Amino acid sequence: MIKKFIIILFINLFISQIVNAELEIKARTAILQDFLSGEILYEKEPDRSIYPASMTKIMTSIIAFDLIKSGDLSLDENFIISEKAWRLSTAGYSSMFVMIGDEVSVKDLLKGIIVASGNDACIALAEGIAGTEEEFAIMMTSKAKELGMNNTNFANSSGINDPDNYSTVKDIMIMSNYLIKKHPKFYEWFSEKEFTWDRTGGDPITQGNRNPLLYKNIGADGIKTGYLAVERYSLASSIERKGRRLIAVGSGFETKNDRSKQSAKLLTYGLTNFDLVEISIKDKAFSSVDVWLGKNDQVKVYTKDDIYKIIKKGQKKKLKAKIIYDGPIEAPITKDQILAKLKIIYDQNLIGEYDLLAINDVKKVNIFSRLMKSLNYLIWGDV
């Protein structure tokens, strides 16, 4: 009665253009990731150690966002500006221009960090959260390890010169992915083009966002620039277009112009050379499998996670999904029971395998119904 069932499904693609291109990015190190699938589309020495400069501020923001999400910090909470924070605003670094003794809200400090890239705001936020910037840097590094940023150490909250403040473009990508995935509403702040600080004892100061891609009509909505003389120019960037998001990180661009053009080139490459395939949305019915001796003849199945795949453009016919199970599956069946395997095949190669689970219970029929079904099977071979 039990047979091996194989159901072959053909997957539709979001995009169907055919573009072929080779890519060379003028940076010491770079990486490009498709956000939904998590797949890497381009990399150039992704594990090479870099000084992340102001890209460090992504993690500074994440620490605050996590605390706000857990209820341990409020956007309306005020922190008092120390002399250490104020001195950075007078030392020629990018600043929010806070003053000693000012009481500044967490929200304003975060906007000063994200939009104006204020080093003084970083120290003020770090001291307000952890007591000292050194303790805050420990929190940052601990979070980095939690995220799998295995080649990163944070020595300060702003990214200013420190040989112990180092990372890689791959780790910055991991951090950026976390920011967008876990804090989507706060991430919207990274697309704001200006921030006005209504400072104490002076006229309001309006500063523009330093991310050059925000001013191009390509759909960029973040993330953070960086510059150190030893590292040159860097940028963590992201673009969203027609429901598809890409994250790019590059470091070692020789000029500001290179940083802008090469980052845009990297993101455009991802959009025009690859197709995003939506295969399954977590917790939603994906397909059905046959049931034996149950009150229902079939049960719907689902995957625990979203499943997306990236393939080169024009290769649509090479992608298939197979549902494999021994069935019909005898009732009773319990919700979340693993019933089948979903195998994703591309060009005759297995590129993914996932469990398919029952979306609901299926009870067994009564003894009389079981006898009738069994008799029907013996006579007609029909389940």
Q: Is 94 an annotated catalytic residue?
A: no
User: Which candidate in 37, 82, 95, 117 is catalytic?
Assistant: 117
Give the active site residue among 37, 54, 251, 260: 54
**E strand or H helix at 376:** helix 367-380
- Catalytic (active site) residue 117: yes
Give the integer Cα–Cα distance in Å for 373 and 62.
59
What gap in Å lies between CA 138 and CA 130, rounded to an integer? 9
Helix (H, G, I), strand (E, B) or coil at 127: helix
AA letter at 11: I
- What's the rounded Cα separation, in Å, for the pair 36 and 159? 29
Active-site entry in 57, 111, 170, 309: 57
How far is it, in rounded angstroms, from Cα 173 to Cα 164? Answer: 19
* Rounded distance between C-alpha atoms, residue 28 and residue 326, angstroms: 52
SS3 328: coil
Rounded CA gap, 333 and 356, in Å?
13
* Token pair belonging to 336: 């979340």
What pairs with residue 31 in β-bridges?
43, 249
**For residue 311, what are the contacts with CB-CB under 8 A and spacing of at least 6?**
13, 274, 275, 277, 318, 319, 346
287 catalytic? Reply is no
CB-CB contact of 160 with 119 (8 Å): yes
The answer for residues whose C-beta is within 8 angstroms of residue 41's C-beta and 6 or more apart is: 32, 33, 34, 246, 269, 270, 273, 274, 310
Helix (H, G, I), strand (E, B) or coil at 106: helix
Contact 234, 259 (CB under 8 A): yes
> What's the CA angle centered on 244, arms 242 and 249, to 5 degrees?
130
Q: For residue 63, give the nearest of 192, 236, 183 by alpha carbon.
A: 183
Would you name the residues annotated as active-site residues? 54, 57, 117
